[in-house]
Amino acid sequence: MTTGHKSVSAGLSRRTFVGGALATASAATVLPGCKFVAGSGSNTIPAPPNFPEGIELFQQGFINWARENLQRALAEFFEYFKQLIAEYRSRGQYPYTGPFELRAHGLENTSDVLMPNAVEPWLSGARPHPDRPELDTVIWYAINNNVDQPLAAEFNTRLEQWFLSNYASYAIVRPEWTKCYAYTADGPFGGGWSNDEVLLETFPNTWRDGYPADTTWDAAVARLNAMDPHRVFTNRYLDRVFPA
C-alpha cells in the first residue's frame, strides 16, 4: 500500500492505524467463522475457529551456528525443502499447506545485559555453548502446517530428521518450546511429541553436554520440580519432558 505513495503513508498517524486495526478486529468478532487467537495481545488477528487445534507450528526452532555459515545453512534448507515438496507433488500429494518464516538473531550473551550478575537462561534455544564459541548466530525456523493434512506427520518427520542430520556437523539444533517437535510418521497431532528419543534424549542433550553441572538440563528440571513439588503447573507433556 505504501510503495510509491509516501505522502499517503506519512499522513497515517499511529492512532489512525491502531484505531482502524481495532475496529476491524472488533467487527471480526461478530463474523461467522472468526475468533481471536489468544488474549488482548492478539486481538487484531482474527483466525478460523479451529486455529488452536488445526494449525501447528513445526518448529525446528533455534539452530546455532557460526555467522559465516549462515548462507550455506539457508541454501541447504531451501534446496532440500524444494526437493521434498516436489517429490510429494510428483505423486499428487500435498502434505504441506502453509508458509514458513525465518528469523536470524544473536545469542543470549550475558555481556549484552545492562545489569550486573546476569545469568544465561538455562533452557533457552539461543543459549551459548561454552565449548563452541564460534556458534554466534541463531536462525529460527517456523514452518506452519495443518496437522490434519494427509501425510503431514510423515512430512514433518522427514523434515525434522533432515535438520538433525544435515546440520549436525556444524550447528546445534534445538526446538522452540511452544511448538511441535519430536515427530513420528504415525504420531498424533501431525506426529508431534511422539518420538521419545528426540523428545527425551536428542534435544535435552544439547543442554547437557559441555555445560557446568549446576546449569545443565537436569539441573533445570530439578530446579523446576523444587519450585512446584506438588505438580500444580503441569500437563501430560510437561510430565514427560520434566519428570518428577
Which CATH number fits the domain that encloses residue 169? 3.40.462.10
The answer to whether residue 231 sits within a structural domain is no
pTM over 0.85: no
Same structural domain, 139 and 173: yes
- Looking at the 3D structure of the chain, how many domains does it have? 2
Q: H/E element holding 101?
A: strand 100-105
> What CA–CA distance (Å, rounded) separates 123 from 220?
7
The answer to whether residue 122 sits within a structural domain is yes
Same structural domain, 88 and 180: yes
The answer to whether residue 2 sits within a structural domain is no
The answer to whether residue 29 sits within a structural domain is yes
How does residue 131 score in pLDDT terms, banded at 50, 70 and 90?
very high
**Phi, psi values for residue 208, rounded to 5°:** -105, -60
Q: What is the pLDDT of residue 16?
A: 38
The answer to whether residue 101 sits within a structural domain is yes
Structural domain including 39 reads 14-47
What are 55-114's pLDDT values in tens digits? 444 555 677 889 999 999 999 999 999 999 999 999 999 999 888 888 899 999 999 999
CB 107 within 8 A of CB 171: no
CA dist 65 → 45, 105, 118 (Å): 33, 11, 23
Same structural domain, 76 and 177: yes
Same structural domain, 147 and 106: yes
How does residue 155 score in pLDDT terms, banded at 50, 70 and 90?
very high
